[in-house]
Structure 1
């Protein structure tokens, strides 16, 4: 008992001495938590990918890890945002991996491009949990978004959305369903529906049509589309979309630009408030965020791909207060 009293008194005395470290007063784990906050990290601005990889989609969850898909063979590559190091975590089927989204259950939803399909991968093991044939004939299953009860995939060739409904606790169904797109969107020659995101109120879906540079609001129950009023602004070459609150980031790939739009809550209209570019951009395709940073893979669509072609992911600071 006496020993405990002396120890307590000594600790109190040390705490009052000038220059005495205050770490004893820091709650357990607080320093570690501060060191791992996104804004407290020193993260590389550019991450090298394997030569010949041909990235398109990118997905980032709550941890500083990015997943990228290969157009060359469908491999899934995991990159550590802290070190820039990475490795292939799931071998591809020999067909493209295009748009990607990661859920809270460590499942990666992958658009299959010209294969006309989608698959769901466990990123911890690399195993394919489910594969869904979505289209017959010519198709390009391009991008995917996750909502509370479904995964939605765009098709740049056919005016349709593909829905993978999620059951209780995120259970994966045996089959996907098709929802035809009608209304304002009109498919034409070239790359049609591309990136997809929810509206800020989460009631509808947003789709960018690359070839005509328009943004559409879509009723997920009916597939009926209306054009989002952007005051005449063009989103030509629009690719990946990322919604943050009421701010929508639109990657315009061949323009090497990320257009920043402030949307109304229902997504029926919006105003372009910024356009972001960077000398490192070389046809960026899609975008994901971690902390206050946007991460964009260089798809390099204007460069003929070869086994030794280099590819990177570039990070830029996201603008605040839009």
Structure 2
């Protein structure tokens, strides 16, 4: 979930993507908006998104560091009164947990807010082998928060005890999985976990791959998607279905892959590209709809209004 075009052009292999046409999605939620306005203020540049089970939307701002909140039933979001973000110029990944708490990252900080915006915790990454941290995305499991670093080939971890995250510490230097690759170009991005929290999938824009990590022994292998290079931005994992946003080296849009039971191999089954996306960065899923952030990061500060597009999930079966 990052400003991909400006910072990854330096080293990217050719992306070979098979044009796979998905079946049309079912007719669902026709009474819900197709477009959500995050903000009409200049320079917001939305980046991350989360949708809670009750349909509450949270969207982060790369341009200002603010968070926005709305509901899938209403087309306009409003600023979320999250305290303690005044000194964070950029917010990227945003996720919620089962308690409704809002976790977000930006710069070197991870913050946790309650649903009213009260700051519950701030955790700071101390930097990695290449210097200061630029935290990009996160995933919350039952016992930990895992965070990727755009500036360092490092995954951080904060253990959750009694519902509170502990210190944000370097957990895995991923360079050993591909030692010949220049460390400054790993560009770690989206991160997701299986339901048990035993397996992580981490996107790397630089290597144009998704990397599978066993949390027990930190074993790292490349997700095998056949002959396709696949370096996503944000991702969502639902069972064995991986939803990924691609915005560099491939037609911009949402790519959906069906994975094996161990999340080691898979095949892209659907590709949603073109309209209505405007440099999409990440997505969230609710019901049979996908909510995709239109960042406009390719031409900052973009042009208001800044939006989220909702499209049908083609993997949903018609009842």
- Shorter-chain TM band: 0.7 to 0.9
Superposed CA deviations along residues 179-202 of structure 1, whole A, max 9, x for unmatched, are 123432445444621111114764
Q: Which residue of 1 aligns with 2:102?
A: 108
2:214 to 211, 219, 222: 219
Work out whether residues 288 and 316 of structure 2, in 8 Å CA contact, stay in contact via their aligned partners in 1: no
* Counterpart secondary structure, 1:162: strand
| Aligned length in residues | 278
Q: Is the 8 A contact 1:159 1:187 kept in 2?
A: no
CA distance in 2 between partners of 1:199 and 1:266 (Å): 10
Q: TM-score, normalised by structure 2?
A: 0.81
Residue 289 of structure 1 is matched in structure 2 by 285
Contact 2:198/2:216 (<8 A) preserved: no
SS of aligned partner of 1:69: strand
Question: Which secondary structure does the structure 1 equivalent of 2:271 belong to?
Answer: strand
Deviation at 1:268, TM superposition (A): 1.0
What corresponds to 2:33 in structure 1?
A: 44
Q: Distance in 2 between matches of 1:222 and 1:74?
A: 35
1:247-280 Cα distance to aligned partner (Å, 9 max, x none): 0011002431211111111111111111112411
Q: Distance in 1 between matches of 2:126 and 2:252?
A: 31
Aligned twin of 1:166: 160
How many Å separate the matches in 2 of 1:187 and 1:222? 24
Distance 1:105 1:187 in 2: 40
Q: 2:65 aligns with which of 47, 69, 74?
A: 74
**Computing the radius of gyration over CA atoms, which structure comes out larger, 1 or 2?**
1
Provide the secondary structure at the position in 1 that maps to 2:276: coil
Unaligned runs of 5+ in 1: 1-37
Q: Does the Cα contact within 8 Å between 2:152 and 2:183 map onto a contact in 1? A: no
Q: Which has the higher contact order (CA 8 A, sep 6+)?
A: 2
1:133 corresponds to: 124
Q: Does 1:261 align with 2:257?
A: yes
Moved more, 283-292 or 211-220: 211-220
The Cα shift of 1:139 comes to 2.2
Greater percentage in helix: 1
